[in-house]
Amino acid sequence: MSSENSDKLPEFKFSLSGQQARELPMGWAKQATVTDFPVSKNIAGVLMELKPNGLRELHWHANAAEWGFVISGNVRTTIIDPQGRYETNEFKEGDIWYFPRGHGHSIEGLGPDGTTFMLVFDNGAFSEFATFSITDWLSQTPVEIVSKNLQTDAVDLNNLPDKEVYIAEIKEKIESKKLDSTPLTHKYSLLSQIPLRDCDGGKLWIASSEEFPISTTMTGGILVLNPGALRELHWHPNADEWLYVISGKIRLTVFASSGLSSVVELSENEIGYTPMGYGHSIENTGDSDCRLLIVFNSGTYEEISLSSWLSSNPDELVSANLNLPRDIVKKFPKKEAFILSGNKK
């Protein structure tokens, strides 16, 4: 690719490794927002680790819904909705959660090892470090108000934190009883399901609002590609795609129309971004399986693949359009390939 070409496009790649973590005794968080990663206007990501008993405190988000994927360990969440309905859930590796915008929640690392998870938000301008945390709120409110609200003498509230705690420590064991009064669950065990696509070269698990009804504004999943496998050229008519490399090495191609394109090499702990409608492909360039977290800012999963598009048109049309003989066009896949195996035919 010419440098003249790539100068006109934003960076489609961002590394979390270079990001400063917000670090506390019971955990840390690193984020990728539109401020650091300008192309990611509609989706932001936060990688977080919590030690056992580390509590990402009670908080809400004013400008984004939260979609979480458990990379490792065990987690417990609490959530309340505007109707006063609530849910407590426990999660393991491969499970996801969805918290609608503005709903109050907390996230707790459980034993034995705590947890690492990725949070994805449907707004690039989201900041994990400007959330509405309960300790920040109560410390900013006149003590007479807090005292009246909590029906407690002000003197008994002396130990209330005087600023945001962000990650607290739980010192007493919490009874792990499941509380639930919400009509729709906030939890979905993604990797316990049958993959949406199971091809020779890899698999895709997806949770859209069809599989996970509460997730009305986001769809997310895991894509595994075997070495050399290609997630074929395709585009998403209705959503941006945010991608995080959990393990492995990939090459992402992004086509931006008007003779503009970019080829991006990504490895572990890096994020790739494809704006809505841009053509793209993903190839595993490493020697082991790659595991990718893929999230869209729509509750509906939509895609159109090159092979299904071409095979739905008359060979004569494709032959004329691509300036290729018909006997060559006849060899193209006759239906959507989705993932092409790295092994030669």
Catalytic residue annotation = 56, 59, 61, 66, 105, 128
CA 121 to chain centre: 7
Name the residue nearer to Mn ion (CB basis): 329 or 338: 338
Tokens encoding 322: 């691509």
**Surface-to-core class of residue 327, CB atoms within 10 Å of its CB (0-12 exposed, 13-18 middle, 19+ buried):** exposed
Name the residue nearer to Mn ion (CB basis): 63 or 285: 63
Nearest to 295 by CA among 267, 261, 271: 271
- Binding segment for Mn ion (CB under 5 A), chosen from 1-9, 43-51, 63-71, 78-86, is 63-71
CA angle 269, 271, 277 (to 5 degrees): 160
**Surface-to-core class of residue 279, CB atoms within 10 Å of its CB (0-12 exposed, 13-18 middle, 19+ buried):** middle
What is residue 157's three-state secondary structure? helix
Name the residue nearer to Mn ion (CB basis): 65 or 190: 65
**Pattern of binders to Mn ion over 280-319, x per CB under 5 A?**
----------------------------------------
Name the residue nearer to Mn ion (CB basis): 241 or 336: 241
Q: Is 66 in the site for Mn ion (CB under 5 A)?
A: yes
Name the residue nearer to Mn ion (CB basis): 80 or 324: 80
φ, ψ for residue 128 (rounded to 5)? -65, -20
Q: Nearest distance from residue 51's CB to Mn ion, in Å?
A: 18
- Binding segment for Mn ion (CB under 5 A), chosen from 6-14, 25-33, 65-73, 284-292, is 65-73
Q: Nearest distance from residue 87's CB to Mn ion, in Å?
A: 15
DSSP string, 168-190: EE--SPPP----B--SS-SEE-G
- Exposure of 194 in the CB half-sphere (CA atoms within 13 A): 0
- Binding segment for Mn ion (CB under 5 A), chosen from 66-74, 180-188, 191-199, 326-334, is 66-74
**Pattern of binders to Mn ion over 225-254, x per CB under 5 A?**
----------------x-------------
Residues 219 and 188: beta-carbon distance below 8 Å: no
Q: Nearest distance from residue 156's CB to Mn ion, in Å?
A: 29
Q: Nearest distance from residue 82's CB to Mn ion, in Å?
A: 16
Rounded to whole angstroms, how far apart are CA atoms 90 and 97? 10
Run of H or E including 255: strand 249-255
Q: Is 57 in the site for Mn ion (CB under 5 A)?
A: no
Q: Which residues contact 49 (CB under 8 A, 6 or more apart)?
A: 27, 28, 29, 109, 114, 115, 116
Find the Cα–Cα–Cα–Cα dihedral 241, 182, 26, 192, rounded to 10°: -60
- 106 vs 66, 134, 173, 268, CA distance in Å? 12, 10, 16, 28
Name the residue nearer to Mn ion (CB basis): 122 or 241: 241
Q: Is 164 in the site for Mn ion (CB under 5 A)?
A: no
Site for Mn ion in 115-144 (CB under 5 A): none
Q: Nearest distance from residue 56's CB to Mn ion, in Å?
A: 7
Q: How many helices (H) and strands (E) does the chain have?
A: 6, 24
Name the residue nearer to Mn ion (CB basis): 37 or 242: 242
- Binding segment for Mn ion (CB under 5 A), chosen from 34-42, 61-69, 180-188, 208-216, is 61-69
- Binding segment for Mn ion (CB under 5 A), chosen from 60-68, 188-196, 204-212, 321-329, is 60-68
> How many amino acids of this chain bind Mn ion (CB under 5 A)?
2
Q: Nearest distance from residue 291's CB to Mn ion, in Å?
A: 16
Q: Nearest distance from residue 55's CB to Mn ion, in Å?
A: 12
Residue ranges binding Mn ion (CB under 5 A): 66, 241
